[in-house]
Amino acid sequence: MAVFFNDHFVANENALLHVSDLSMQRGYAIFDFCRTKNWRPLFLNDHLDRFYASAAAMHLATRYNKEELTAIIYELIERTLLDEAGIRILLTGGYSVDGYQPASPNLIITCNAVKTASLADFENGITAMTYEHQRELPSVKTINYMMAVWLQPLLKEKKVNDVLYHHKEIITEFPRSNVFIVTKDQRLLTPSRHMLRGITRKQVLSLAAKQMDVEERDIRTEELLQAAEVFLTSTTKKIMPVAAIDGNIIGDGKPGVITRKLYNEFLQLEQQGGQ
């Protein structure tokens, strides 16, 4: 499998970072992740815009402009021969002389097989628990998922699929997904701050605005539990209903009318190549 490493395409086994890289020494790196469908990356411009914004926020220089990076990604797709894959663009803090100061960033782009949520997954939905936590630099897509990983044993103990963060009783995000609620009077709500602005989130907001009232604002935990529908959005999960939160059934525990409609419209958007 081919990998783009700094300035060259190399075999996967040769894409090696030195232990002095700040991604290993201090967990200092950013990334972005998009999917391909029929050999085309979905919503690539949006993903690259977020990648460059994250790099700038973390003071990491990028050696390729947007057009050059796009060309590299398309060549990588051709080399891997996967019609549906996950593209991961990683930019690290570089080989630090003291394990603390950033250096020249290392760029690694991979293209691998990816598992996405199926229609059966959509019909089943997920269960979730809430947890008080606020990520550092929430608007930046860093590699820091420490809390999410640390919570995995608790999720297994509670027998739930995912965790929804809240801060001072205001919900923010899932570790790898954005959250939406449909109110009983059929308004669509989603958090407006203290979270990462997902690319699928952006598409859903655009689709929904054509047919219903949409609000980006603070959402309190009690509103969450009173919702008619709750769903999450992400690159691999697409749109996924949340059937229960903290043991409380949302609606009738099945995908709601609005969730299902947006899901079908999003699938159509994918088939059009994300345009």
Q: What confidence score (pLDDT) does residue 274 get? A: 64
Neighbouring CB atoms inside 10 A of 185's CB total: 7
Residues assigned a catalytic role: 141
Q: What confidence score (pLDDT) does residue 272 get? A: 85
Angle between the N-to-C axes of helices 199-209 and 44-57, in degrees from 0 to 180, rounded to the nearest 10: 130
Using one digit for the tens of pLDDT, what is the confidence trace for 2-38? Answer: 999 999 999 999 999 999 999 999 999 999 999 999 9
Instruction: Indicate whether 152 and 267 sit together in one domain.
Output: yes
Q: What confidence score (pLDDT) does residue 166 get? A: 98
Instruction: Indicate whether 95 and 177 sit together in one domain.
Output: no
Domain boundary among 112, 130, 162: 112
C-alpha span between 58 and 188 (Å, rounded): 32
Instruction: Indicate whether 145 and 266 sit together in one domain.
Output: yes
Instruction: Indicate whether 125 and 188 sit together in one domain.
Output: yes
C-alpha span between 233 and 202 (Å, rounded): 10
C-alpha span between 159 and 173 (Å, rounded): 20
Instruction: Indicate whether 104 and 228 sit together in one domain.
Output: no
Q: What confidence score (pLDDT) does residue 1 get? A: 81
Instruction: Indicate whether 41 and 129 sit together in one domain.
Output: no
Using one digit for the tens of pLDDT, what is the confidence trace for 232-255? Answer: 999 999 999 999 999 999 999 999
Domain boundary among 112, 146, 163: 112
Token pair of 90 as six digits: 């990683």
pTM of the model: 0.95
Rounding to the nearest 10 degrees, give the CA dihedral for residues 68, 73, 74, 80: 150
Token pair of 205 as six digits: 């907001």
Handedness of CA 41, 56, 28, 146 (dihedral sign): negative
Instruction: Indicate whether 94 and 160 sit together in one domain.
Output: no
Instruction: Read off the CATH number of the domain in which 70 is found.
Output: 3.30.470.10
Question: DSSP code of 251?
Answer: T
Instruction: Indicate whether 98 and 129 sit together in one domain.
Output: no
Domain boundary among 68, 94, 112: 112
Instruction: Indicate whether 189 and 163 sit together in one domain.
Output: yes
Task: Flag residues of the chain having pLDDT under 70.
Answer: 274-275
Instruction: Indicate whether 141 and 226 sit together in one domain.
Output: yes
Using one digit for the tens of pLDDT, what is the confidence trace for 38-48? Answer: 999 999 999 99
Average pLDDT, the chain: 96
Q: What confidence score (pLDDT) does residue 47 get? A: 98
Ordered alpha helix ranges (H), the chain? 22-25, 44-57, 66-80, 119-124, 146-150, 152-158, 199-209, 221-226, 257-271
Q: Specify the number of domains making up the chain.
A: 2
Instruction: Read off the CATH number of the domain in which 200 is found.
Output: 3.20.10.10
| Enclosing domain of residue 49 | 2-112
